[in-house]
Amino acid sequence: MKNLKTLFFLALSLIGFLDSAYISAKHYLGTPVACSIFEGCEKVLTSQYATIAGVPVALSGAFYYLTVFVLVVLYLDTGGKRFLLAAAHLTIAGFLASLWFVYLQLFVIGAICVYCIISAITSTALFMLGLLVIFKKENMMVKT
C-alpha cells in the first residue's frame, strides 16, 4: 500500500459502494431497507427523487464509488498518477451530488435516510482526500 491516505481512499469508496449497492438491490428486490435509527428511510427511498426514469439514484452512486475504487487500484497497480488525479477530480462531482441529496432530504422530502447520510459522509470524506491529492504540492500519494 502506498500509504494510509490511499488505504482510506480504497476503504471509503468500498463503504460507499456497499451502501449504494444495498439500497439499489433493495429497490430492485422490492423489499424495504432495514432502518431503525431514523424512520424516514422508506419515505426518502420511495420519493420522486429516488429514481430517474425508473433507475434508482443509488445505482449511480454505486457506479461512482466503484469507479473511484477502480481508479485508485489502477494507480496502485501502475503508479500512474493520472488515475489518482482522475479519482480525486471525480470526488468533486460525488460531493456536489451528496449536497443536493442532503438538501432534498432536509428541505423538500422532510425525512432522513440513514443510508443516504452514510453515503453523504463517505462522499464528503472522499472529497476531502481528493482535495489533498489535487492541491497539495508535495503529496505523498502521488508518485513523482
Amino acid identity, position 69: F
CA distance 119 to 115: 6
What are the C-alpha distances in Å from 111 to residues 16, 36, 91?
A: 21, 14, 25
CA distance 116 to 79: 33
Contact 96, 125 (CB under 8 A): no
The model carries a pTM of 0.90
**Which CATH code fits 4-135?**
1.20.1440.130
Contact 13, 126 (CB under 8 A): yes
Q: pLDDT digits over 14-69, tens only? A: 999 999 999 999 999 988 888 876 678 889 999 999 999 989 999 999 999 999 99
